Each structure stands twice: as C-alpha cells, then as structure tokens.
C-alpha cells in the first residue's frame, strides 16, 4: 500500500461527495442525456463503438459512462471508495449497462484486473496524483492491447508555473513529494483539504516513461486553453474552455498524447 496515495484517497472521498452534487459537474444534465466529454478528446480518441475502454482515475464515472453511451464497453478505476460508489449509482440511474468499476490504487491494479483493452484513457487532473511516473506508465502500457492505444488529455505541466497574471510562481521540474495543507477544492470551493500529496512531472518525464514502458508516441498536442477556471482572471469561450484574458496563446494550458502498442 502506498501511504501517500492513501492520504489522497481520504480527501478524494470528501471531494467526490461534494462534486456529485455541485452544479459545476452537471450530473443532472448528464442524467438528462448530455455528454460529459469535450470535443477535444471525442475527436482525438475517435470512434469507440464496439471497443473495450479502460478509464484510469475515473472519478465518479461521468466520462466513463459517456464513452459507454458512445458504444464502448467500459471499465473505470479509481482509488476513492466514494468515487466508485457514485459511479455505480450513476450507471444505474442513467440505465447504462455493460459497465464495470473497480476501486483500487492505480499501482495495485495488476493484482486485480487481468484484461487488455483497445483503449486506455485518462484525463484532466490525473498525472499530479502519481508518485512514480515510470510505474504509472508500466501500468498504463500493461493494459493496452496489441494494436490498441493509450490517450491522455491533462493540464499542461508548464501551466503550473504561472499565476493568473503570468508571473512565475512555481518550478517546472520534478521536486519529489510535495505536501499541501488546507487547500481549497478547484470546484467545490467550500471543501478544504486537510492534506494533499502530489508530484509534478514534466512533459519529458511523461513521454519518456511511456516510451520506456514500450508504447509508441503517435502525437503530442499542446493547447492554450484549460478545462477549468484555474485563475479568477480566466475567460470562458463558447466551447467551455478557459483562457488567459489577453488570449495571447503564449502559455500551454492543456496537452494530449496518443501512444500505441504496435
Ligand atoms: C481530478 S479527478 C479526475 C477527474 C476525471 N477527469 C473525470 O473523469 O472526472 C482525479 C481522480 O484521481 C483519483 N486518484 C488519485 N490518486 C489515485 C490513485 N493513486 N489511484 C487511482 N485513482 C487515483 C481520485 O480519486 C480522483 O477521482
């Protein structure tokens, strides 16, 4: 058992409960039939009909279940008991069959799941929680079928360096284990996180770990927009992406990678 991951499991239980009922997560709209994924990942992942898809760090499963609505047979994995409990509840309420959710630390998944998948997927707010980038990539690669691929869209590591005025406030490179106390949740602002543990990984760390684990990089894309209102100054466009107000597009805020097992 990874002690630092266990620290995170506790606050993800609290955060999941708050997210599920928060307007920002749009559970009501999802139950009415809207899709939860962004055009970016829908386009870059492509047609999932008839495919098997493993969603790592699936939270309470709204993205996982959206892939199921698009025709994939899905398995969602998350460390938080509450995330898995709510994912199962959501699947039932939305009447989406052929879904499976597993509660486990991602690093322990090989002890619990023996399959391989056409697509392994993870997104927004995933990498920061991984204490060992090479171990993460090994688990990712372990589940990609020959001919299948891994896809990630996440917050760009470079974006962590800057505040809302583009002033440098943090380093870019890996700093070992970082501990934060009494932070506020990014969505449910009334939830205070007693202790959070995280790890910053550069784009090079991520890419090289995937290559080392045996995957072939198909593309790396970088975007000047972000999935949430990271800073109060951010402005939202019609597609729901957030930008710095000057729209100079000089700082990457999101990246995506597709890596295949040939
Ligand atoms: C920001 S959320 C990801 C949200 C995701 N994009 C979605 O589909 O809604 C991060 C998730 O990672 C999970 N997580 C954090 N550490 C983990 C670990 N070691 N193993 C598995 N899941 C983990 C948390 O429980 C949380 O649900």
Residue 123 Cβ contacting ligand 1 at under 6 Å: yes
Please name the residues in contact with 102: beta carbons below 8 A apart, sequence gap of 6 or more. 75, 76, 77, 84, 109, 112, 113
**Mean of pLDDT over the chain:** 95
- Confidence bin at 98 (pLDDT 50/70/90): confident
Query: pLDDT (tens digit, 9 = 90+) per residue, 110-167?
Result: 999 999 999 999 999 999 999 999 999 999 999 999 999 999 999 999 999 999 999 9
The H or E element spanning position 19 is helix 3-21
Whole-number Å distance, alpha carbon 155 to ligand 1 midpoint, is 13
> Residue 192: its pLDDT value, please?
84
> Residue 81: its pLDDT value, please?
96
Q: In whole angstroms, give the CA distance from residue 62 to residue 13.
A: 16
The domain spans of the chain are 3-260
The atom of ligand 1 lying closest to the CA of 129 is 16
> Residue 108: its pLDDT value, please?
98
Size of the chain in residues: 262
**CATH fourth-level superfamily of 3-260:** Vaccinia Virus protein VP39 (3.40.50.150)
> Residue 187: its pLDDT value, please?
80
Q: In whole angstroms, give the CA distance from residue 67 to residue 55.
A: 9
Whole-number Å distance, alpha carbon 22 to ligand 1 midpoint, is 17
Segment 71-86 mean pLDDT: 97
What is the pTM (predicted TM-score) of this model? 0.96
Q: In whole angstroms, give the CA distance from residue 57 to residue 106.
A: 8
Residue 86 has pLDDT above 90, yes or no: yes
Residue 122 Cβ contacting ligand 1 at under 6 Å: no
Please tell me the residue having the least CA distance from ligand 1 atom 8: 58
> Residue 35: its pLDDT value, please?
78
The atom of ligand 1 lying closest to the CA of 131 is 19
């Amino acid at each position: 058992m990874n002690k630092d991951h266990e620290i995170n499991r506790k606050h993800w239980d609290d955060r999941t409960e708050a997210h599920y009922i928060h307007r920002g997560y749009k559970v009501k709209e999802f139950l009415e039939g809207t899709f939860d994924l962004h055009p970016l990942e829908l386009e870059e992942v492509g047609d999932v009909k008839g495919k098997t898809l493993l969603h790592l760090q699936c939270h309470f499963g709204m993205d996982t279940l959206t892939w199921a609505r698009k025709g994939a047979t899905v398995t969602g994995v998350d460390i938080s008991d509450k995330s898995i409990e709510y994912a199962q509840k959501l699947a039932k309420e939305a009447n989406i069959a052929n879904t499976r959710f597993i509660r486990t630390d991602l690093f322990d998944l090989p002890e619990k799941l023996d399959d391989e998948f056409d697509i392994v997927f993870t997104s927004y707010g995933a990498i920061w929680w991984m204490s060992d980038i090479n171990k993460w990539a090994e688990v990712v690669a372990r589940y990609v079928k020959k001919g299948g691929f891994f896809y990630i869209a996440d917050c760009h590591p470079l974006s962590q360096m800057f505040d809302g005025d583009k002033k440098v406030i943090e380093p870019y490179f890996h700093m070992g284990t970082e501990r934060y106390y009494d932070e506020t949740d990014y969505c449910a602002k009334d939830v205070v996180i007693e202790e959070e543990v995280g790890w910053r990984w550069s784009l090079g760390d991520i890419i090289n770990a995937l290559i080392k684990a045996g995957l072939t990089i198909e593309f790396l894309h970088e975007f000047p927009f972000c999935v949430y209102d990271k800073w109060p100054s951010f402005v939202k466009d019609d597609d729901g992406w957030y930008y710095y107000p000057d729209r100079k597009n000089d700082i990457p805020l999101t990246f995506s990678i597709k890596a295949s097992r040939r």
